[in-house]
Structure 1
Amino acid sequence: MTGLTVVPVPGFGAEDVVVATHGPDEGCCFTGTEDGSVWRVSHDLRRIDRVAATGGRPLGIEHHPEGWLLVCDAHRGLLRVEPATGRVDVLTDSVDGARLLVTNNAAIAADGTIWFSDSSTVHPIEEWRQDFARDTRTGRLLRRDPDGRVAVVLEGLAFANGVALAADESFVTVAESGGRTVVRHWLAGERAGTTDLLVDDLPGYPDNTARGSDGLVWVTIASPALAAVRLLHRGPRWLRVAATSVPERLQPQPRRVVHVQAFDDDGALVRDVRRPATDFHMVTGVREHEGRVWLGSLLEAAIAVTDL
């Protein structure tokens, strides 16, 4: 990565980013912040507008073909957000009668099916460090059909996070932040219904993922792998609980880095883009669009942009 332009936004924790590919907002980038706001950043980076307030904590964000935004709100579930009016509607906030606890990231299929992750059934988003260190493996991949029905597709994931579809929608992927993998679930062909790994042993902890305009699956590396976390995950549960019971400043901390990778549909690494984290760090959102890469961060009051 050569140059990086940091764009401040009027809110902390711009966790994900998406670029509108059509309609009146074409070329603009959207992000959501900790205070519940959804922001639109113009393509030239000169104008930032607050287009909606979810009343929760927006994480993953997608641009629907019909022009509205699909927002994964950790507190409120899957939301439909209209940038033009600010209207917010809940698409779903539960599955099998139980509330979703950490709705995190999503991908939209051509037929309107929404694939999305629920990171934990134990810890809310404010306790992501505890869930991560304790390795609860209660994350899930879910599917919302066009008729509104919601089903659990995969369970037992180590903090389920970023979701992306194959270009031909033959499979869906979900990142395991705690496992440092990208899990692949086949939807079509001879392997339909089976699950394997698109990527194993990532160099760090993946967060959001997205398919770029280049056809690749882009994966954020929020932090390089930490030896202390590896030891915790191998240890007994009492040790993992004890490690997250001490003050947060004494717990293992993410290392500062700006790092994203891109893979083809066979899991081959195509791009490895990184730089020192001097003025931006902990990349949790990524969107490649026409050679420009937009980045979001859970721990920054800003997004960032670089050109490949």
Structure 2
Amino acid sequence: MMIAISATFMIFFLCSPSVAILITRLPLPSPVTGPESVAFDRNGGGPYVGVSDGRILKYAGPTEGFKEYAFTSPNRNKTICDGLADFSELQATCGRPLGLRFNHQTNELYVADAYSGLIKIGPNGGAPTQCFKDIQPQQENVNTTLGFLDGLDVDVNSGVVYFTQASANYRFKDAQALQSSRDQSGSLFSLDPKTNQTRVLMRGLALASGVAVSRDGSFVLVSEYLANRIQRFWLRGPRANSSELFLQLTGRPDNIRSNQRGQFWVAVNGALGPNPPPRPTILPGGLRISENGVILQILSLVKEFGSEAASEVHEHNGTLYSGSLRASYVPISSMI
């Protein structure tokens, strides 16, 4: 079922969404920022986050806070990289982890790094293994270099990894220019770790950001940030290997995360006012939707992030953990 959010409905989203009760903020070690995505291991440990200096951090409790767990660039130099700010030229060397997701069968952490490609971290953390950085040469009509990977999810049953390339024409350091462009060079990919087979599922996407596979593995959702929409790509069934519009939005959708009930949380950011200024006020929020495209909850994250954009809403054991490219903390909220 395809649902379009009407202008009236979007006004409701901007003016009177439900509000999560902010419980606490988990501070990152200064001066790093940008917990863009959140993940938990198969034992419930975490949250794990990727940050601006190329490291993966794991929350070790209120006494120890976030501790280094892994890193994504094979050439990372701690002296140069530790504490690096976002959008630096050095991130091409230090790494910039974005989408994170564990394979709960193996407890390996998969990472979509904006510069280093698709990365796998072993169950004990540490140095990265690069799954691949370039698409297989036999794939036709596709850029061979996979720069600016963004969203990522892992099928809990098959272990297949789904990930997005935000753009083939822009790099992460040029994200501001990309957001102001009409670029449609993004793609959706899958990787089967058992066979090492990579597939190109969708092309021509307008800043492909978030991705999430359905609970039964029959389809995968992908958000197009610049097109204000979410598309569904069918993996199985009579419509296999075809795509369709899943949700048309007024705000810009980022990461998508599923919960234990098979629903999806989408981080969505909207601008205030009919004639917004060049850098409009951002209303960070989230949508909880069913696998049939029914909107179940509209959530404001203004208390969590103010006027900064939210990148992810992640539900874990009935609690919401939110991500942002600008924040120096991970907010924890209760659902109401």
Say if 1:215 and 1:224 are closer, same or farther in 2 by CA, change over 3 A: farther
Whether 1:101 aligns to 2:127 is: no
- 2:77 aligned residue: none
Whether 1:15 aligns to 2:61 is: no
- 2:282 aligned residue: 256
Q: Is the 8 A contact 1:257 1:277 kept in 2?
A: no
Whether 1:306 aligns to 2:324 is: no
- 2:190 aligned residue: 143
SS in 2 for 1:127: helix
CA distance in 1, matches of 2:273, 2:159: 38
SS in 2 for 1:95: coil
- 2:124 aligned residue: 84
Q: CA deviation at 1:191?
A: 1.5
Q: CA deviation at 1:173?
A: 0.8
| Runs of 5+ consecutive residues of structure 1 not aligned to the other structure | 230-250
Q: CA deviation at 1:171?
A: 0.6
- 1:127 aligned residue: 174
- 1:184 aligned residue: 232
1:60 to 96, 99, 107: 99
Q: Is the 8 A contact 1:3 1:306 kept in 2?
A: yes
Say if 1:292 and 1:266 are closer, same or farther in 2 by CA, change over 3 A: same
Q: CA deviation at 1:44?
A: 6.0
Say if 1:8 and 1:116 are closer, same or farther in 2 by CA, change over 3 A: same
CA distance in 2, matches of 1:96, 1:16: 27
CA distance in 2, matches of 1:53, 1:284: 21
1:153 to 201, 205, 208: 201
Q: Is the 8 A contact 2:35 2:330 kept in 1?
A: yes
- 2:317 aligned residue: 290
- 1:209 aligned residue: 256
Say if 1:82 and 1:224 are closer, same or farther in 2 by CA, change over 3 A: farther
Q: Is the 8 A contact 1:142 1:153 kept in 2?
A: yes
Which stretch of the first structure deviates more once superposed, 131-140 or 81-90? 81-90
1:48 to 66, 70, 83: 66
Q: CA deviation at 1:17?
A: 0.6
2:217 to 156, 163, 169: 169
**Matched letter for residue 58 of structure 2:** R
Q: Is the 8 A contact 2:272 2:283 kept in 1?
A: no
| TM-score (normalizing by structure 1) | 0.85
Q: CA deviation at 1:271?
A: 1.4
CA distance in 1, matches of 2:28, 2:150: 21
**Matched letter for residue 86 of structure 1:** G
**Matched letter for residue 203 of structure 1:** T
* Superimposed CA distance per residue, residues 123-145 of structure 1 (whole angstroms, 9 cap, x where no aligned partner): 00111221222111101001112
Percent identity (aligned) = 26
CA distance in 2, matches of 1:306, 1:64: 25
- 2:110 aligned residue: 70
CA distance in 2, matches of 1:290, 1:284: 20
SS in 2 for 1:130: helix
Q: CA deviation at 1:3?
A: 2.2
- 1:240 aligned residue: none
Say if 1:27 and 1:165 are closer, same or farther in 2 by CA, change over 3 A: same
**Matched letter for residue 52 of structure 1:** A
Q: Is the 8 A contact 2:72 2:97 kept in 1?
A: yes
Say if 1:254 and 1:70 are closer, same or farther in 2 by CA, change over 3 A: farther
* Superimposed CA distance per residue, residues 169-195 of structure 1 (whole angstroms, 9 cap, x where no aligned partner): 111110000011110011112211221
Q: Is the 8 A contact 1:175 1:208 kept in 2?
A: yes
**Matched letter for residue 14 of structure 1:** P
| TM-score (normalizing by structure 2) | 0.79
SS in 2 for 1:50: strand
Say if 1:263 and 1:7 are closer, same or farther in 2 by CA, change over 3 A: same
* Superimposed CA distance per residue, residues 101-131 of structure 1 (whole angstroms, 9 cap, x where no aligned partner): 1111111122221111001010001112212
Q: CA deviation at 1:152?
A: 1.3
**Matched letter for residue 92 of structure 1:** F
